[in-house]
Amino acid sequence: MALVLGGAIGLVASLILVIERFELLMDPTYVPSCSLNPVLSCGSVMTSTQAAVFGFPNPVLGIPSFTVVLVAGILLVAEVPLPQWFWQGLAIGMTAGVVFVHWLIFQSLYRIGALCPYCMTVWAVSVPLWVVAASHSFSTEPVFLRRWKWTFVVLWFTVVVLLCAERFWSYWSTLV
């Protein structure tokens, strides 16, 4: 069920980001719906060079990627057996996605200096989805994964939240 929920959330966030980016391309004065303040500013992130690393908007990659995850989750819920090579391929693809997400997190925090709520939604689902895909990629789940996978996810969320809080503390502290 985690793959269905995470895949659907990631797919919706990617679709919204693509739509918002096209709106911004058609009208440079357009203010994206997720541009809320100087820190939570999708417009700043979307217009950066990092937002189109491969020459097209990054969320375009999320649409097919999260669709594959969503379909895999639906098949898993329906108890359709998928071959081990599929799970291994999904884990490898998710590993590439998670590496890319971490690069984007660094870019948002320390180069662009703004956070995009929809992008952060993609960040938030990518790591748990990766953990789930990795656990399915083994014929028998290793003990360390079974015992520690959700602890790892909670620790990851904690680190990312603390990095965001520390990076933009000068702004957050003025809101109180």
- pLDDT tens for 32-50 read 998 999 899 999 999 999 9
Q: How much is the pLDDT for 106?
A: 98
Give yes or no for residue 165 having a pLDDT over 90. yes
- pTM as predicted: 0.92
Q: How does pLDDT run across 63-83, given as a tens digit for each residue? A: 999 999 999 999 999 999 999
pLDDT tens-digit readout, 8-33? 999 999 999 999 999 999 999 999 99
Name the CATH superfamily, with its identifier, for domain 1-175: VKOR domain (1.20.1440.130)
Separation between Cα atoms, residue 161 and residue 155, nearest integer Å: 10
- Name residue 38's amino acid: P
Q: What percent of the chain has pLDDT over 90?
A: 81
Annotated domain spans of the chain = 1-175
User: In which region does residue 117 sit, left (phi positive, over 0), alpha (psi from -120 to 50) or beta (all else)?
Assistant: alpha
Q: Is the CB of residue 98 less than 8 Å from the CB of residue 53?
A: no
Is the model's pLDDT at 140 over the cut of 80? no
